[in-house]
């Protein structure tokens, strides 16, 4: 049934227009039709969060039914030394900083031997853009980890890091990706996308790979059979239009390659960044972005509610707003915590199971490539009452 009075807060003519669009959107969503940019903008202007949630949940149910995915993973950041100086980042520092660290191959192996959960299936590796380390260091890390832990999927390096490796090595993007793939790279995370708009990148991270370049690198990765994720960092200086344009660029590339696995909307955390005057993204806005992402990215199988950035409680609610993946146990997350995230640095599998069961969904442990490893029953969860 079409809602007759979706809540809006604009001039009457605009409200009427957007209301008409929302009614049209509702029909299109139920008919499985693609939404336009104008319709995406109407979704962003809609103040009726439950209306958006209802539509997004409908799409989520079509993609994954009552399943909610998660994995058992471990994050490792090889260095926080970074030449990029992105204004939104509290993790990267200059080489001279007292907080700077760099892990040798020996440090990495020691850390993993000590802390990798026994049941982990994925290592998630992203780092700063180090001024002195050669590409061979990263290749050696992947090659060594792959040999030492052949059963662990290595999801490593954002498109921005790949771009940097090409710059420092003089190799092409394709050559860099091929070398990493041969060394054991399994897939790539979706970071570094921020917002593709040149206006925003000019203000936030002028020295870094452009949005166009990010997309080009992902296209090359997909062409080489490397699956990737995609992200959008929202809640800083961007407009609604820039958010929708970003989503449409991802949707267009996905039409072409089909290589994206999941989309992860990342809410900006301002603490300790040079944008600390910006108010943290509200819970309302985070849920809206999850719902709008689910509605616009009709060709993406999965939308992640990354609990580290959302907070555990809101990540659970996000399951009603179109998300079907909570990411993982994420031991030792550093990037968001440097920027003030108050969530724990990791979560146990039992906590994830309880979170999913108590929302009325079915937890499914997946591997990085979304093969289903185990569908859980309540009796598998220590925290859930029988
Ligand atoms: O690229 C940096 C973002 C990303 C801040 O692909 C910030 O499965 C919020 O990409 N506030 C890294 N966000 C994290 C990331 C990711 C996380 C989980 C899963 C996957 C996946 C990818 O975090 C960076 C940047 O876009 N970021 N600083 C900040 N202050």
Query: Token digits for 226?
Result: 């490397």
322 neighbors 262 (Cβ within 8 angstroms): no
Q: Is the CB of 326 under 6 A from ligand 1?
A: no
The percent of residues in the chain predicted with pLDDT above 70, rounded, is 97
Pairing state of beta strands 187-188 and 227-234? parallel
Residue 1: pLDDT band (50, 70, 90) is very low
**Ligand 1 mean position, distance from CA 12 (Å):** 38
Q: Is the pLDDT of residue 56 over 90?
A: yes
Q: Is the CB of 264 under 6 A from ligand 1?
A: yes
Mutate to test the pocket of ligand 1, among 88, 129, 191 (most ligand atoms within 8 A of CB): 191
d(CA 90, CA 107): 23
User: Do 35 and 97 belong together in one domain?
Assistant: no
What residues are designated binding site for S-adenosyl-L-methionine?
A: 88, 194
Which residue has the least CA distance to atom 8 on ligand 1?
189
User: Do 207 and 189 belong together in one domain?
Assistant: yes
Would 359 be classed as within a structural domain? yes
Q: Is the CB of 158 under 6 A from ligand 1?
A: yes
d(CA 351, CA 364): 14
Q: In sequence order, what are the residues at sequence separation of 6 or more whose Cβ sits closer than 8 angstroms to the Cβ of residue 179?
A: 135, 139, 171
Average pLDDT, stretch 157-176?
Answer: 98
Q: Is the pLDDT of residue 14 over 80?
A: no
How many domains does the chain fold into?
A: 2
Q: How confident is the model at residue 335, as a pLDDT?
A: 83
Would 27 be classed as within a structural domain? yes
Q: Residue 154: which domain range?
A: 67-380
d(CA 194, CA 235): 10
Q: How confident is the model at residue 99, as a pLDDT?
A: 96
d(CA 329, CA 344): 10
Q: How confident is the model at residue 386, as a pLDDT?
A: 64
Mutate to test the pocket of ligand 1, among 269, 304, 327, 335 (most ligand atoms within 8 A of CB): 335
Q: How confident is the model at residue 263, as a pLDDT?
A: 98
Q: Is the CB of 229 under 6 A from ligand 1?
A: yes
User: Do 58 and 86 belong together in one domain?
Assistant: no
Question: Tell me: the pLDDT tens digits for 171-226?
Answer: 999 999 999 999 999 999 999 999 999 999 999 999 999 999 999 999 999 999 99
Angle at 348 between CA 161 and CA 264, to 5 degrees: 35
Would 60 be classed as within a structural domain? yes
**Ligand 1 mean position, distance from CA 26 (Å):** 31
Q: Is the pLDDT of residue 12 over 80?
A: no
Would 261 be classed as within a structural domain? yes
What residues are designated binding site for [4Fe-4S] cluster?
A: 82, 86, 89
Q: How confident is the model at residue 343, as a pLDDT?
A: 79
User: Do 216 and 275 belong together in one domain?
Assistant: yes
Q: Indicate which atom in ligand 1 lies nearest the CA of residue 89.
A: 28
**Ligand 1 mean position, distance from CA 327 (Å):** 12
Would 4 be classed as within a structural domain? no
What residues are designated binding site?
A: 82, 86, 88-89, 194
Tell me: ipTM over 0.90: yes
The whole-model pTM stands at 0.95
Q: Is the CB of 192 under 6 A from ligand 1?
A: yes
User: Do 331 and 352 belong together in one domain?
Assistant: yes
């Amino acid at each position: 049934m079409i809602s007759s009075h979706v809540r809006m807060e604009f001039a009457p003519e605009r409200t009427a227009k957007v209301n008409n669009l929302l009614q049209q959107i509702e029909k299109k969503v139920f008919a499985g039709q693609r939404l336009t940019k104008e319709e995406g903008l109407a979704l962003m202007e809609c103040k009726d969060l439950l209306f958006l949630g209802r539509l997004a949940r409908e799409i989520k149910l079509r993609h994954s039914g009552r399943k909610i995915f998660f994995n058992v993973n471990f994050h490792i950041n090889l260095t926080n030394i970074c030449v990029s100086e992105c204004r939104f980042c509290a993790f990267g520092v200059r080489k001279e900083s007292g907080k700077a660290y760099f892990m040798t191959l020996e440090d990495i192996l020691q850390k993993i031997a000590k802390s990798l959960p026994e049941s982990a299936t994925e290592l998630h590796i992203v780092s700063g853009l180090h001024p002195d380390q050669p590409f061979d260091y990263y290749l050696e890390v992947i090659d060594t980890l792959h040999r030492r832990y052949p059963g662990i999927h290595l999801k490593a390096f954002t498109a921005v890091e790949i771009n940097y490796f090409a710059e420092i090595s003089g190799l092409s993007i394709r050559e860099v990706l091929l070398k990493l793939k041969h060394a054991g790279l399994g897939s790539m995370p979706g970071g570094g996308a921020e917002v593709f708009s040149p206006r925003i990148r000019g203000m936030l991270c002028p020295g870094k790979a452009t949005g166009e370049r990010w997309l080009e690198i992902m296209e090359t990765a997909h062409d080489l059979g490397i699956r990737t994720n995609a992200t959008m960092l929202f809640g800083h200086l961007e407009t609604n239009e820039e958010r929708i344009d970003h989503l449409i660029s991802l949707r267009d590339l996905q039409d072409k390659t089909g290589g994206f696995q999941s989309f992860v909307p990342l809410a900006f955390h301002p603490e300790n960044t040079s944008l600390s005057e910006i108010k943290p993204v509200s819970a309302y806005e985070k849920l809206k972005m999850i719902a709008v992402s689910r509605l616009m990215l009709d060709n993406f199988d999965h939308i992640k509610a990354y609990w580290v950035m959302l907070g555990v409680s809101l990540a659970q609610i996000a399951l009603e707003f179109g998300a079907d993946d909570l990411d993982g146990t994420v031991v030792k997350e550093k990037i968001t915590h440097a920027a003030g995230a108050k969530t724990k640095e990791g979560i146990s599998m039992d906590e994830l199971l309880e979170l999913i069961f108590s929302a009325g969904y079915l937890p499914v442990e997946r591997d990085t490539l979304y093969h289903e490893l185990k569908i859980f029953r309540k009796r598998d969860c220590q925290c859930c009452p029988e």
